[in-house]
Chains A and B, each alone.
Chain A
């Protein structure tokens, strides 16, 4: 036959053992109630003969019979027979005792198998008048007259009534066996399904981990490749730029106006290409996390002043007004000042670039009360009233009166290479990398950058940077500081 697979006990056809399934105390209580009701002894045996319940008062007749050695032996033999006699095809049999009393035996059936038996008795059958000859034969010393008197005191039970009692008890017990078996199966299956879910989960986790490792590797290779390529491209490019500059300055002899124009174009395009390569390099470094931010205590004021100074000439040349409005309130950031400068250079450069002559670009910095550390976790929002005063942030708004960005485009501009209007590429140039670098740097500082419209026209880029203290508080509070 096919080998028995695991778990076959639950979904197969293994016989149950009564003693495993039925609670003995409950069984005992049931037998007691039957005994109290009808005055007949009740015993329940498992199929291998183990006695599971035994509720009976010894009859006086039985006590007497057991005092005489010969009849004691006969009594023992009767009890053993009652335990083992095979109930017929209908599962019921009456086994006579040598005293004239009798035992009624009913088998317990579960899923078509006999799993045990109930033995009722001894009782006196309704028709019993005289003890049978077997009583006297058991031992000559037995006082038959006395035994006869004692037998008369045993209540008579009609066969019919007895069968009803037995039938009822059998049904009740079989129901208990069924329910217990069902509970047993259910608990087994619960265990099984928990184990299976755990195993499946582990499989998935392992697969995910492998994928993650592979992706990380791919990512690392990509960054490496980009970094190497950028470097390899930059070296010859620097020469092209250098030599075209020298040519333009006339070091190799005077150039005609036309030659001069060509050389300057070569130089300008070279510079543009270099910026693109530098941008890509930055982006790949930021993406792979290999650009290390040197986070140190910093204030926003000096950074912004430097940015304005750097870009003032560009603005002046384009006849765009550039103003700084800072409240100069102290707020310590944990930041890489060089990177933050890059953020605002990009934003102010864009603002000036996309604002026509006569427009205005304003950089406004304020220290404000910070929002509670983000996270919809109750745990993290807890104690906001106490923590809020400590939580400060710097909000820098770079607003211009330029061409503006349609609402639908405001998220996309942070994607690498994205430019709102491809035709604008020609008018304004650029590579479309600036804002994606901005976003990555701001993210790395635990801050946020977003775009709003400016009234009546123009754009406002809002950068919010949490103070050093806020960032420390943002660590999930359920992590013990020692582990954070």
Chain B
């Protein structure tokens, strides 16, 4: 996070991580489609000709929120990493300075091992950056729910209850579960930053109020709570 107190500007970095072809770029494209034009910038994708992410994708979301202390600017940059194994060093670079990570898993049963391998890769990379899973808020998304041969809902619910991260279900190509995952991630990121930097006092805005403002700026007036809560597992309120 970068907090420019004088300009009342907060910049947050969110990273979508996960194995190759799990749908990270698709999530970002959907997020771009599903948010209000005046709150988002251009989607920057750095792809190869066969649609594999080469370096990263990035979507900037920028909006203002009126608070007790005056107007504040919020800048959220959402990055995806390249999932292909060869791009390890790029993943590490993109992960630098991340405030929270959404792990996009592929629901197909055959992808179970790739999901796990990518998760371990995430852990290794965080460690190499001098951070740990503990201090980076994480949400998990099981994507591609529309496909056959996927893990069943009951199985995922069971898996979710065993872990402590909230688990979202999505079908990113159809735009389903995309906003939910995003808000779930934003909430956890914000609560963590609030706890560390006392944003409530410094900026005069409560986390719930912040989320409500963010939702309305992005075109989801009044839906923040509902979106954030559309997950299984996790500690419900999110947070560190």
Contacts and interface: CB of A to CB of B under 8 A. Distances in A.
Contacts of A5: 96-97, 129
A111 B75 CA distance: 9
Interface string B35-60: 00000011010100000000110001
B169 interface: no
Interface stretch (A8-16, A62-70, A310-318): A8-16
Most chain A CB within a 10 A radius of its CB, from B56, B87, B89, B129 = B89
A1 interface: yes
B194 to A, nearest CB: 14
Nearest to A186: B46
A181 B197 CA distance: 31
A417 interface: no
A197 interface: yes
Contacts of A7: 93, 96
B3 to A, nearest CB: 6
A12 B13 contact: yes
Interface string A271-303: 000000000000000000000000000000000
B88 to A, nearest CB: 9
Interface string A165-202: 00000000000001001100110010011001100100
A2 interface: yes
Contacts of A181: 44
Contact of A112 (B44, B60, B93): B60
Contact of A11 (B11, B87, B97): B97
Contacts of A196: 89-90, 93
B2 interface: yes
A111 B62 contact: yes
A468 to B, nearest CB: 48
B75 A112 contact: yes
A109 to B, nearest CB: 8
B97 A111 contact: no
Contacts of B73: 112
B77 interface: yes
> Which among B3, B96, B197 has the greatest number of chain A C-beta atoms within 10 A?
B96
Contacts of A182: 44, 46
B182 interface: no
Nearest to B87: A193
Contact of B79 (A11, A110, A189, A193): A11
Interface residues of B, number: 26
B96 A185 contact: no
Interface in B52-102: 55-56, 60, 62, 73, 75, 77, 79, 87, 89-90, 93-94, 96-97
A240 to B, nearest CB: 62
A1 B46 contact: no
A5, A111, A113, A196: most-surrounded residue (chain B CB, <10 A): A111
B1 interface: yes
Contacts, number: 70
A185 B44 contact: yes
A4 to B, nearest CB: 8
Interface string A333-361: 00000000000000000000000000000
A200 B197 CA distance: 37
Interface string B12-25: 01000000000000
B12 to A, nearest CB: 9
B60 A111 contact: yes
Contact of A13 (B2, B87, B89, B94): B2
Contact of A10 (B41, B60, B93): B93
B39 to A, nearest CB: 8
Nearest to A192: B93
B96 A111 contact: no
Contacts of B56: 11, 189
Contact of B55 (A112, A189, A200): A189
A1 B1 CA distance: 7
A352 B147 CA distance: 71
Contact of A1 (B3, B41, B89): B3
Contacts of A10: 93
A196 B96 CA distance: 15
B1 A178 contact: no
A9 to B, nearest CB: 11
Nearest to B129: A5
A11 B93 contact: yes
A200 B128 CA distance: 14
Contacts of B96: 5, 7-8, 11-12
Contacts of B79: 11
Interface in A368-403: none
Interface of B: 1-3, 11, 13, 41-42, 44, 46, 55-56, 60, 62, 73, 75, 77, 79, 87, 89-90, 93-94, 96-97, 129, 197
Given A1-B3, A11-B56, A112-B62, 20 more contacts: A1-B2, A2-B97, A7-B96, A10-B93, A11-B13, A11-B79, A12-B2, A12-B13, A12-B96, A13-B13, A13-B77, A111-B62, A112-B60, A182-B44, A182-B46, A189-B46, A192-B89, A193-B55, A193-B90, A196-B89
9 contacts: A1-B3, A2-B97, A7-B93, A11-B13, A11-B93, A11-B94, A178-B44, A193-B89, A193-B90
Interface of A: 1-2, 4-5, 7-8, 10-13, 110-113, 178, 181-182, 185-186, 189, 192-193, 196-197, 200
The 3 closest A-B pairs by CB, nearest first: A112-B62, A196-B89, A111-B60
